[in-house]
């Protein structure tokens, strides 16, 4: 028992500090991906609802691809593909030499487009849940399109989309574990190193699972607070 | 009042729109052009780097990898479906111990990454080798393939239990009461009254879960199972040819689209009695 506590301590004999650094990387990656994915997803949902055939088609192609590919494969495609593309580009402008893509950026891009593909569906169904009268009311008040969106539609949209988005956030948090494969020192990689060195594989992988659970519980607290914040008292749908 | 009527002079009608090219249309055409360029680029890349030797060498590997992927997904999906029944029953049980256990099970497997679960089972249970040896189960946990099936089964059972619970809850109580009034036994009620209605609701979530499982199955490549992804990584490591990944992406996309279109067709057919003309 004492031996295990030593392994988990923060000192030079323990792995606590390394694993804490891994937690930080995981949380940073997820938080950095979130705004990128949300904005892209929102833009795609607007494209899907724009009423233009070609715009909708190109948005549908995006979601079909990134919801259909395994996340791990998307990550490899971005990581190796961007590397090869950049090398080709450098050769084209007459420069030679290897180039390394930052694993964090590759992870962010890959997880971000997957998140955006799913988020766009959440936004689309949230838009559909807003009655037409809201647009008509805003038009009657003389709001232009931007004001209608910002003052009338968005506040309601957030409320409707929040449960779906919180689900996607939890999925994103879990999917960050895949970046350990391209060498980013996240929770899985750090606990994996600790497991291999200390030979206490079960202890450390169980710890990794536990950390993800704690992160999920913490985020559901945050979402509860946001939900309470955006809901209108006495409002029913 | 009069100023309101007289203040604003009558406005001429707006000029008819000259072009049908709205901003959305232009943006759509540009994006579509980019997609087309990407598709043509990939086709060009695949054609220009077409290498019969490469295909002859790795084609059979891809086929066997695909077969491993399909086997893995089908076995764990079916085993998970069987396991999900007691879990879903536990979630609705009157016994608080059963309720707590099944809730904890579902929460754990839905709250942690599939990768971490797979590692926990494949590498983690290696810590208990003497004990597993003693009860004669070490052969099972030593093998990456069995561990992958176990991890995927446990994972998908948690998700399927929730689907099952939601689908059964979506059947109105009146259906249970009517069946009870007809004197049907519990088993007959479930089989003849509840299941047909619940399964219609559950079809789409089930297929979504199957697709998620298929996509998730790519991670078994990390624990040295040579599924489609594993074969792809091996081919790339040996040939350094990026088209290996492109082919894998095309195969995965085709599989997922087949499942999705198939479900849509099946749903159309299965719900034709409740659709309004």
- Which CATH number fits the domain that encloses residue B259? 1.10.3720.10
Q: How many residues does chain A have?
A: 237
- Residue B81: its pLDDT value, please? 94
Residues A39 and B9: beta-carbon distance below 8 Å:
no
Section B158-180 average pLDDT: 92
Residue A1 confidence (pLDDT) above 90: no
- Measured from the Cβ of residue B234, the count of other Cβ atoms closer than 10 Å reads 16
List the single residue in B with minimal CA-CA distance to A169: B111
Reported as a pLDDT band with limits 50, 70 and 90, residue B7 is low
- Measured from the Cβ of residue B215, the count of other Cβ atoms closer than 10 Å reads 22
Section B125-151 average pLDDT: 86
Collect all residues of chain B within an 8 Å Cβ-Cβ radius of residue A217: 111
- What gap in Å lies between CA B232 and CA B74, rounded to an integer? 21
Q: Is A98 helix (H, G, I), strand (E, B) or coil?
A: coil
Residue B275: inside a domain, yes or no?
A: no
- What gap in Å lies between CA A93 and CA A87, rounded to an integer? 10
Which part of chain A has CATH 1.10.3720.10?
A: 34-183
Residue A49 confidence (pLDDT) above 70: yes
Residue B11: inside a domain, yes or no?
A: no
Token pair 């479930």: residue: B190
Q: Indicate the burial class of A28 (C-beta count within 10 angstroms; 0-12, 13-18, 19 or more).
A: middle
- Residue A214: its pLDDT value, please? 93
- Measured from the Cβ of residue B146, the count of other Cβ atoms closer than 10 Å reads 16
- What gap in Å lies between CA A88 and CA B188, rounded to an integer? 66
Residue B231: inside a domain, yes or no?
A: yes
Residue B3 confidence (pLDDT) above 70: no
**B209 is in which domain, residue-wise?**
59-270
- Residue B59: its pLDDT value, please? 87
Q: Nearest CB to B215: which of A61, A70, A77?
A: A70
Query: Cβ neighbours of residue A109 under 8 Å, at least 6 residues apart?
Result: A78, A82
Reported as a pLDDT band with limits 50, 70 and 90, residue B17 is low
- Residue A231: its pLDDT value, please? 77
Residue A50 confidence (pLDDT) above 70: yes
Extract the tokens encoding A149. Answer: 């969106």
DSSP state letter for B259: H
CA distance B44 to chain A (A): 15
- What gap in Å lies between CA A75 and CA B219, rounded to an integer? 12
Distances (CA, A) of B107 to A218, B103, B161: 14, 6, 11
Section B219-228 average pLDDT: 90
- Residue A98: its pLDDT value, please? 65
pLDDT tens digit string along B229-263? 999 989 888 888 888 898 899 999 999 999 999 99
Chain B (108-137) residues lying within 8 Å, Cβ to Cβ, of chain A: 108, 111-117, 119-120, 123-128
Name the average pLDDT for chain B: 88
Give the CATH fold of the A34-183 domain: MetI-like fold (1.10.3720)
Residue B19 confidence (pLDDT) above 70: no
Reported as a pLDDT band with limits 50, 70 and 90, residue A203 is confident
ipTM: 0.86
Q: Which helix (H) or strand (E) element contains residue A57?
A: helix A53-68
pLDDT tens digit string along B256-268? 999 999 998 988 8
pLDDT tens digit string along B46-65? 888 887 888 888 888 889 99
Query: What are the respective helix, strand and coil percentages of chain A, to the nearest 5?
Result: 80, 0, 20
Cβ separation A55–B25 shorter than 8 A: yes
Section A106-112 average pLDDT: 92
Name the average pLDDT for chain A: 87
- Residue A170: its pLDDT value, please? 92
- Residue B73: its pLDDT value, please? 94
- Residue B49: its pLDDT value, please? 80
Residue B69 confidence (pLDDT) above 90: yes
Cβ separation A213–B111 shorter than 8 A: yes
- What gap in Å lies between CA A178 and CA B216, rounded to an integer? 11
Residue B27 confidence (pLDDT) above 90: no
Extract the tokens encoding B65. Answer: 């990898």
Residue B31: inside a domain, yes or no?
A: no
- How many domains is chain B partitioned into structurally? 1
């Amino acid at each position: 028992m004492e031996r295990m506590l030593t392994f988990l301590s923060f000192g030079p004999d323990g792995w606590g500090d390394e694993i804490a650094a891994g937690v930080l990387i995981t949380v940073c990656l997820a938080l950095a991906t979130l705004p990128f994915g949300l904005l892209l997803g929102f833009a795609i949902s607007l494209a899907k609802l724009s009423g233009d055939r070609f715009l909708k088609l190109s948005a549908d192609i995006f979601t079909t691809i990134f919801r259909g590919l395994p996340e791990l494969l998307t990550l490899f495609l971005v990581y190796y593909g961007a590397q090869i593309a950049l090398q080709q580009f450098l050769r084209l402008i007459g420069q030679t030499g290897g180039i390394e893509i930052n694993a964090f950026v590759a992870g962010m891009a890959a997880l971000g487009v997957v998140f955006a593909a799913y988020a766009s569906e959440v936004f689309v169904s949230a838009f559909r849940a807003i009655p037409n009268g809201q647009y008509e009311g805003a038009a009657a008040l003389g709001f232009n399109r931007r004001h209608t969106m910002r003052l009338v539609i968005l506040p309601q949209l957030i409320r409707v989309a929040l449960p779906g988005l919180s689900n996607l956030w939890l999925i994103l948090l879990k999917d960050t574990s895949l970046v350990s494969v391209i060498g980013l020192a996240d929770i899985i990689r750090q606990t994996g190193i600790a497991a291999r060195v200390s030979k206490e594989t079960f202890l450390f992988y169980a710890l990794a699972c536990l950390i993800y659970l704690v992160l999920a519980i913490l985020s559901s607290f945050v979402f509860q607070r946001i939900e309470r914040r955006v809901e209108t008292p006495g409002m029913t749908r | 009042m009069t100023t309101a009527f007289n203040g604003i002079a009558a406005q001429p009608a707006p000029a008819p729109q000259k072009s049908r090219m709205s901003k959305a249309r232009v943006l759509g055409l540009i994006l579509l052009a980019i997609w087309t360029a990407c598709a043509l680029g990939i086709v060009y890349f695949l054609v220009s780097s077409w290498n019969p030797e490469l295909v002859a060498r790795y084609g059979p590997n891809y086929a066997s990898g695909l077969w491993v992927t399909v086997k893995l997904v089908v076995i764990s999906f079916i085993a998970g479906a069987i396991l999900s029944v007691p879990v879903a029953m536990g979630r609705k049980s009157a016994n608080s111990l059963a309720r707590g256990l099944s809730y904890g099970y579902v929460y754990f497997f839905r709250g942690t990454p599939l990768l971490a679960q797979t590692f926990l089972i494949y590498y983690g249970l290696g810590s208990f080798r003497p004990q597993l040896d003693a009860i004669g189960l070490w052969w099972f946990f030593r093998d990456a393939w069995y561990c992958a099936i176990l991890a995927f089964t446990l994972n998908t059972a948690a998700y399927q239990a929730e689907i099952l619970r939601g689908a059964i809850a979506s059947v109105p109580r009146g259906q249970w009461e009517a069946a009870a009034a007809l004197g049907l036994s519990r088993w007959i009620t479930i089989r003849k009254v509840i299941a047909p209605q619940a399964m219609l609701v559950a079809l789409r979530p089930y297929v979504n879960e199957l697709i998620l499982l298929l996509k998730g199955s790519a991670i078994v490549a990390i624990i040295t199972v040579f599924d489609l992804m594993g074969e792809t990584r091996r081919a790339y490591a040996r040939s350094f040819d990026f088209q290996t990944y492109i082919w894998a992406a095309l195969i995965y996309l085709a599989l997922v689209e087949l499942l999705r279109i198939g479900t849509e067709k099946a749903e159309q057919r299965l719900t034709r009695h409740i659709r309004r003309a």
